[in-house]
Amino acid sequence: MNNVFLGQTKARLIVKILGIIQLLIGFLTLVIAPIEIYSFYLFSEGGVFYYDGFGIGSFIHGLVVAQIFAFYGIGLLFIIIGYGHIKLKNWTLNLSISTIWFWIIFGLPVMVFFLPLLAMKEINTQYPILLLAFAALLLIFVIPGLLLFFYNQKSVVELFRTHNDLGNESQIMPVRSYLVLLILLFHILIFYQGIFPMFGKFLTGLSGITIYGFLILIMILLIYGLINKVYLSWIVSTILFSILIVSSIITIIGYKYTEIIELLKLPKMENDIFLKFPLKSLYLLIPVLYILTISLIIIIRSKKYFNKQYGI
């Protein structure tokens, strides 16, 4: 988008304001992150929210771990981006756009995954689905859309312009971001019996955890290859995501929703809550397939930015 809706002066001012806001959000989030660790005490024996069975393997325990990871990750990311805005670093535009697209793609599955939590909380609304739809529209499409519109303004692009090629990095950076996310996600799934879809059968326990260990190692190697634009990394990434998609589809559609919940071996209170939901396994397949498919599409589209002549 090359239309000029903002002059250089206004663009610079808005960029600086965004930088300050992002720094504040980042520092505030880093303060909240260690406070979130206190949640373990609240749910443990003697805490105000204690319930029988809370611990490793329970849904809430894994959720708290995920939130701690998220707070630290978001805090550091916003501080880096905020600093880049204030100092007008050349990498800031790519990182900002990649982060926005990352949220647009991944934000909706996150909200779908956590929809069942509405049943665990006393939310004073007659239309929880409409409330969620409105929140999704605002947080995943409207605000990110406005930010993308702003970052694509010619005057904004010129603020961050350098002699480097911005296009290549902005295409490859999301791929690396998804691999980092998957590394964190794999660690979180280990807290849920290490459940892994293996071509028609869910593996749990040590078998599933071992597979996640190998996948985490592969992801780290792929990130290294993607940073150096090694063509072999693109091939392996494409094959790996294709395998994960096929394996997830074959496995999840072969199980009933209740069977999957039982495999998680949740505490009785959590198990009873999840079994009350009138859901099918397709509910779980949609966000998983959405994330993996979009990631595969982005990887395929980034092929032209890799160097075929380089090996490992």
Domain boundaries, the chain: 1-164, 165-312
Q: Per-residue pLDDT tens for 59-79?
A: 888 888 888 888 888 898 899
pLDDT at 111 over 70: no
pLDDT at 1 over 50: no
What is the mean predicted confidence (pLDDT) over 249-265?
87
Token digits of residue 161: 């312009």
For the chain, what percent of residues have pLDDT higher than 70? 82
Distance CA 308, CA 297 (A): 19
Q: For the ranges 95-109, 115-129, 138-152, which has the lowest average pLDDT?
A: 115-129
What is the mean predicted confidence (pLDDT) over 9-33?
90
- 152-158: Cβ within 8 A, 24+ apart: 152/1, 153/1, 153/3, 153/4, 153/5, 153/6, 153/11, 154/1, 154/2, 154/3, 154/4, 155/4, 155/6, 155/7, 155/8, 155/10, 155/11, 156/6, 156/11, 156/15, 156/93, 157/93, 158/8
pLDDT at 24 over 90: yes
Look over the chain and give the mean of its residue pLDDT values, rounded to a whole number: 79
Contact 157, 173 (CB under 8 A): no
What is the mean predicted confidence (pLDDT) over 255-269?
85
Token digits of residue 193: 């019996």
Token digits of residue 149: 């519109």
pLDDT at 148 over 80: yes
pLDDT of residue 223: 79
The 10 Å Cβ neighbour count of residue 35 is 10
pLDDT at 262 over 70: yes
What is the mean predicted confidence (pLDDT) over 26-39?
90
pLDDT of residue 163: 40
Contact 290, 252 (CB under 8 A): no
What is the mean predicted confidence (pLDDT) over 284-311?
74
Q: Per-residue pLDDT tens for 178-215?
A: 677 778 888 888 888 888 999 989 998 889 899 999 98
Distance CA 178, CA 248 (A): 17
What is the mean predicted confidence (pLDDT) over 127-134?
65
pLDDT at 301 over 80: no
Split at pLDDT 50, 70, 90, the class of 47 is confident
* Comparison of pLDDT for 247 and 50, the residue scoring more: 247
